[in-house]
Amino acid sequence: MDIVGILNQIDAVVWGPLMICLLLGSHIFLTIRTGFIQRKLPKAIKMSVVNDEGSEGDVSQFGALVTALAGTIGTGSIVGVATAIIAGGPGAVFWMWLTGVFGIATKYSEVYAAVKYRVKDHKGEMLGGAMYAWERAFKRKDGSLPWWAKLGAVSFALFAIVATIGTGSAVQSAAMTGIIESNFPGIPEWLIALVIAILVSVVIFGGVKTVSVVCEKLVPFMAVAYAVGCLVIMAINWQYIGPAFALIFECAFTSKAAFGGAVGSGIMVALQFGCARGLFSNESGLGSAPIVAAAAATKNPARQALVAMTGTFWSTVVICAITGIVLVSTMLAHPGIVEGGSIKEGAALASAAFATIPYLGTPILVIGMISFAYSTILGWSYYGNRCATYLFGRRAILPYQILYVIVGFLGAIGVGDVVWVISDIGNALMAIPNIIMVLLLSGMIARETKHYVYEGHLDEAYEEDIPVIEGK
């Protein structure tokens, strides 16, 4: 068996029934535990555009949100949806959407823990994420840390570094190269790779503040432009919108074969790929977004947790849902693009579907994928940066950044779907210690959420001082 076959088998195991139960079960459990925090979404959206003046942090609440969104609204929002449809059928779109709806509570909970247990280094920069939550939340009274808590912290950081290099660098740069080559043939791969490496380097070496500033300008524009473009395509396909919704719901709960059997079918397959791509898209439970959320200037953990949970709403409940409807309705309008089994990859399906729309389709796809992929590269570079700092100290930041850029260059000159599989595996492995940590702290999160959110104390400053750790 070749390496791709082995990786696919591993992927099938880590994204099997146990992982799906852990993921969806956690989403539902935390939704109940937090009192259905999703109902506070309108208030959270309002809060996301207002800075928490006078609070301690490295970036604004909005800056932390858009940096996290830069990491989530990536190729998973386009190619990831198309890949899920090919492998799991149209029903996978429903499970992606449902994962996003319930995942809002998980995003809230993991960010709450990250902000509550964040620390500062000797330079005053904020450090946070699952690794620091494991270390601080479960420390014994004598100052010692149980071995299992240290294992949770270290395993999360290690798996996160692997995932950032795959998901954040190689996958995104490969997607950018693929879309540019398919629409502008003749441009050498090495030249595209070099330009990507330069554009990434000039931002990520400036640190989180530089990344945040760029994302604040790029993310809102690209998301709105892409959504408007998709709505125009949906208007063109208006007579197929109803049938598209019907097919998505039907395939989510039956074993109906779609488009002549050219795409996946089966409830379990749709559920598996919908959940996997849903997590890839919104990262709820993954533990990535809390790393940058911990750097936000906020009065208390609940405020930033509310702001952060809007990211799941925008990335999956809105962007991925729109993409899914565009793809399925276009496939219904032009069934020839998938019949015969000639299209086997998500990128090819997305390109073929958008290309059927005269004038608008291809430009929307090209601009959307390039800007989404670039912003994801920036956002995930910070996640890996912080995890490398936790494991090896500040001296590891520069080597990690150099490696990150090199891998992005290599990804741009020739990495196929194997990277998607590796990224899926890495995402699952870093999600496990993060979800376990959040579940163990769910009682505290529920108790303090009741105080801050439901009893009207969102403007109350958190009393505990942020501890300073010695740098390595």
HEC states along the chain? CCHHHHHHHHHHHHCCHHHHHHHHHHHHHHHHHCCCHHHHHHHHHHHHCCCCCCCCCCECHHHHHHHHHHHHCCHHHCHHHHHHHHHHCCHHHHHHHHHHHHHHHHHHHHHHHHHHCCEECCCCCEECCHHHHHHHHCCCCCCCCCHHHHHHHHHHHHHHHHHHHHHHHHHHHHHHHHHHHHHCCCCCHHHHHHHHHHHHHHHHCCCHHHHHHHHHHHHHHHHHHHHHHHHHHHHHCHHHHHHHHHHHHHHHHCCCCCHHHCCCCCHHHHHHHHHHHHHHHHCCCCCCHHHHHCCECCCCHHHHHHHHHHHHHHHHHHHHHHHHHHHHHHHHHCHHHCCCCCCCCHHHHHHHHHHCCCCCHHHHHHHHHHHHHHHHHHHHHHHHHHHHHHHHCHHHHHHHHHHHHHHHHHHHCCCCCHHHHHHHHHHHHHHHHHHHHHHHCHHHHHHHHHHHHHCCCCCCCCCCCCCECCCC
Tell me the pTM. Answer: 0.86
251-266: average pLDDT:
61
Would 383 be classed as within a structural domain?
yes
Would 466 be classed as within a structural domain?
no
Q: Range with the lowest mean pLDDT among 22-31, 92-101, 131-140, 340-349?
A: 340-349
Would 469 be classed as within a structural domain?
no
Q: 194: pLDDT confidence band, cut at 50, 70 and 90? A: very high
190-219: average pLDDT:
80
Would 84 be classed as within a structural domain?
yes
Task: Give the CATH number, domain containing residue 205.
Answer: 1.20.1730
Range of 55's domain?
11-141+168-447
Taking 60 as the threshold, does the pLDDT of residue 8 lie above it? yes
Would 197 be classed as within a structural domain?
yes
312-327: average pLDDT:
86
The residue ranking higher by pLDDT, 187 or 305, is 305
Based on the structure, what is the number of domains in the chain? 1
Taking 80 as the threshold, does the pLDDT of residue 124 lie above it? no
271-297: average pLDDT:
77
Would 184 be classed as within a structural domain?
yes
pLDDT tens for residues 215-227?
Answer: 777 777 777 777 8
Would 193 be classed as within a structural domain?
yes
Would 315 be classed as within a structural domain?
yes
Q: 262: pLDDT confidence band, cut at 50, 70 and 90? A: very low
Output the pLDDT for position 260.
47
Q: 347: pLDDT confidence band, cut at 50, 70 and 90? A: low
Greatest mean pLDDT among 116-125, 164-173, 193-202 lies in: 193-202
pLDDT tens for residues 48-79?
Answer: 777 666 666 667 777 777 776 766 676 667 77
Output the pLDDT for position 346.
67
Output the pLDDT for position 418.
67
330-355: average pLDDT:
71
288-299: average pLDDT:
86
Q: 37: pLDDT confidence band, cut at 50, 70 and 90? A: very high
Output the pLDDT for position 134.
96
182-202: average pLDDT:
86
172-178: average pLDDT:
83
